[in-house]
Amino acid sequence: MRRTAPLILVPVLAAALLSLPAFAQTAPFLSGCPVFPADNIWNTPVDHLPLDLNSSAYIASIGAGTGVHPDFGSGLWDGGPIGIPYNIVPGSQPRVQITFDYWDESDPGPYPIPSDAEIEGGSESSGDRHVLILDEDNCILYETWSTYPQPDGSWEAGSGAVFDLRSNNLRPSGWTSSDAAGLPVLPGLARYEEVAAGEINHALRFTVPRTRREYIWPARHYASSLTSSNYPPMGQRFRLRADFDISDFSREVQVILRALKKYGMILADNGSAWYISGAPDPRWNNDVLVRELRRVSGSDFEAIDESSLMISPDSGRALRTDIDTQPPAAPTGLAATVVSSSQIDLEWNASTDDIGVEGYRIYRNGVQIAATVSLFYQSVGLVPSTGYTYHVSAYDAAGNISLQSDSVSATTFPVPSKAFRIGDRVRTNEQVDVRFALSAPGGIIGTQPKGASGTVASGPMYWENQWWWDIDFVSGFDGWVTETEIKKVSRPVRSRVTRSRAQPHVRILR
């Protein structure tokens, strides 16, 4: 047996889904990412499936009279948070080296683990020490077990697994993950925001003291030497009986119990009997959740046979006809406008979808940088005089993602010129065209001869690969000239009382 889960823990309960426009059922979302597609086995209802033939034996071996316990809550337990925390990082999070004890069943690093990453049980714990990292820009999940930081900034862990949350791919057959069953941890966690939204639309993760030396779909790994059919295999699905009365439970616990009836829970690791996993959150009411869930006993559950949902043993996709699987059309009309040396604005036309578009993902140089519900995005913090390429994709509430839009490229302006300051006295180097506005076509209102004197009124503005300055000439036409056409002079320049035309501030058109 690879390991056993910690038998300590305390309060609270929760789970669910972000409420989103629905077709029949949508994928759970976290920080803009689907937590696997809507047709993934984690997100599939099992309230209609038949019982497993060994259901009674499984319940008896786990503990028919043992109550459910929330393995998560608020506050601290033995100095650490109660539950399995997760860390959300941007796509730019630096990757660090990591080594694994079970290297032959782990996805190699580097992993984007922050130096201050939250660890299950806290930094001083000696338990499972899961570290969960969600790259929110690319929707990639990194999970490790028995995870310890090293003095040189690297990490060591028992095992590690990487999951694309937009894919139904499973681990290789026989491989572990950060969980004994070879499954991801994050999709099975009860999260407070889900309970607050009023619905949990995915299965929960739970543990039992003894499992069989076997695993069934969607699990990929076992962690036991026991062979009796009385013990459940890794990956076994259980659900709360449909006739269990939940009417006198609190609202939060009712949300959890409804999820256990509809989606059930998946056996993922060895540990304490009927311990349900969740993320720590200060909003949990530990006393209520522990007290009420204790009233739900093992005998109130039943093991089910979900083999009829399997399309492929190597995929987590479940056989379903009640969900939206049609992606939106690709966005069109993507355009980029250079605003400054550090900003490019994007806009595009709305996509269409058979149910409805939920939002858009923005990619810069091939890497997702943001998600938005609007048709406009400001890309800021850019490097001057640097070219960038963008494209956009649309997604719907079920987690379906469109093809990418046509790409558009743009180059940021150089660092703003400091050749002159407002009020500087200047003189033309040659005969120059004077522009009323920096726009094409037209804009020229007259000329100034070589040696014409004036004062810098405003600027600089970047247009047609040059810096321009607005000059209040002593005589003749006032307006915009290029930086190379004027030079600073030290002798006083006589200013006129009025200008030959009103000069508004003009947004530069490229």
Residues listed for the chain: 510
Q: What are 482's strand-pairing partners?
A: 468
Please indicate, yes or no, if residue 319 is contained in any of the structural domains.
Answer: no
Question: Does some domain include residue 194?
Answer: yes
The CATH number of the domain holding residue 372 is 2.60.40.10
Q: What is the mean pLDDT of the chain?
A: 89
The answer to whether residues 296 and 68 touch, using CB atoms and an 8 Å cutoff, is yes
- What's the pLDDT band for 449 if we cut at 50, 70, 90? very high
From 391, 411, 431, the end of a domain falls on: 411
In a domain, 20, yes or no: no
Do both 302 and 207 map to the same domain?
yes
Is residue 190 located within the same domain as residue 303?
A: yes
CATH number, domain containing residue 467: 2.30.30
Tens of pLDDT, residue by residue over 345-358, are: 999 999 999 889 99
DSSP 262: H
Q: What is the mean pLDDT of residues 416-426?
A: 94
Mean pLDDT of 268-281: 97
β-pairing, 98-100 vs 155-157, is parallel
Above 80 in pLDDT, residue 502?
no
Residue 482 lies inside a defined structural domain of this protein:
yes
Shared domain check, 69 and 179? yes
**pLDDT value of residue 509:** 37
Residues 395 and 429 in one domain: no
Answer yes or no: is 118 within a domain: no
> Could you tell me the residue range of the domain that residue 498 belongs to?
417-510
Does 423 lie in the same domain as 282? no
- Total structural domains in the chain? 3
Query: Are residues 64 and 191 located together in one domain of the fold?
Result: yes
Residue 505 has pLDDT above 50, yes or no: no
Cβ proximity of 405 and 363 under 8 Å: no
pLDDT score recorded for residue 499: 46
Averaged over 424-440, what is the pLDDT?
90
Say yes or no: 60 and 186 in one domain: yes
Same-domain check for residues 399 and 483: no
Partners of residue 149 on adjacent β-strands: 155
Instruction: Look at residues 97, 105, 80, 69 and name the one whose alpha carbon lies nearest to residue 180.
Output: 105
- pLDDT for residue 470: 95
Residues 265 and 381 in one domain: no
Q: In whole angstroms, what is the distance from residue 13 CA to residue 257 CA? A: 10
**Predicted confidence band at 400 (pLDDT cuts at 50, 70, 90)?**
confident
| Contact between 115 and 153 (Cβ < 8 Å) | yes
Domain end: 389, 411, 433, which one?
411
Same domain membership, residue 354 and residue 461: no
Residues 297 and 219 grouped into a single domain = yes
Q: Is residue 186 part of a domain?
A: yes
Average pLDDT over residues 31-42: 93
Please check whether residue 5 lies inside any domain of the structure: no
What is the model's pLDDT at position 25? 53
Q: pLDDT-derived band of residue 10, with 50, 70 and 90 as boundaries?
A: very low
Kindly report the backbone phi and psi dihedral angles of residue 182, in degrees, each rounded to the nearest multiple of 5, phi listed first.
Answer: 80, 15
Residue 162 lies in a domain: no
Based on the domain organization, do 400 and 479 belong to the same domain?
Answer: no
